[in-house]
A and B are shown apart, each in its own frame.
Chain A
Amino acid sequence: MLRSARIFSLLFIVALVSACRSGPALKDISSVDALKARFNADAGKPRIILLMSPT
């Protein structure tokens, strides 16, 4: 019982650390509409659009 609890705790900690380490998400878009929606949702804030290739 005690061993199971320890294993569970260990797995929980590993999962927590992994979640904290995960970087930003990369959202797939197929048109400008998703960007437009996000841009307008942030109205009232200064905004920058960056157009880049990954290498």
Chain B
Amino acid sequence: MQKEILDGHRDSDLRVYAVWFNMVEGDARDRWSPELLTDRRVAHFWDEGKTVGAFFARRTQSEEMENALAPNSSGLGQPVLWDSYLVFGPESKWDNGPTGIRRWGRTILRTRNDLGEAVKALLTAPGVGK
């Protein structure tokens, strides 16, 4: 992510919200590495209750989310969405939930090409990203 997305678009005003939570044995807040994503455009959150992952898991069945799903995604249908990304355009607003999702996928590694393409398309659109 740092190398492929952020370093590749150093001048963009992209914002990244990294939400961390325990999902597998051995996970813990003190296992979080501050050196993994150091770009100043990244905000890090620790979500002990997995509230964000549960929130987005409930939304995956919506038509908007289904239309934006990266084709090679796997491991869906769990009560908590994790190892996943969600890409939003500059027009997106969050009332009951964020609107205007452009792409999302799971796992990040498995669908990283879709992530890269979505970000590139977003940042190269006229008047977007800088």
Contact = CB atoms under 8 A, between A and B. Distances in A.
B74 to A, nearest CB: 15
Q: How large is the interface on B (under 10, 10 to 19, 20 to 34, 35 or more residues)?
A: 35 or more
Interface residues of A, number: 30
A26 B85 contact: no
Given A24-B42, A43-B93, A46-B119, A52 B15 contact: no
Interface string A26-50: 1111111011101110111111111
Closest 9 CB pairs of A and B: A23-B34, A53-B23, A54-B32, A54-B31, A49-B86, A42-B15, A50-B18, A47-B88, A36-B94
Given A46-B12, A47-B92, 6 more contacts: A32-B55, A49-B88, A50-B1, A50-B16, A52-B19, A53-B82
Interface of B: 1, 5, 12-24, 26-29, 31-35, 37-38, 42-49, 51-53, 55-56, 81-90, 92-94, 98, 108, 119, 122-123, 128-129
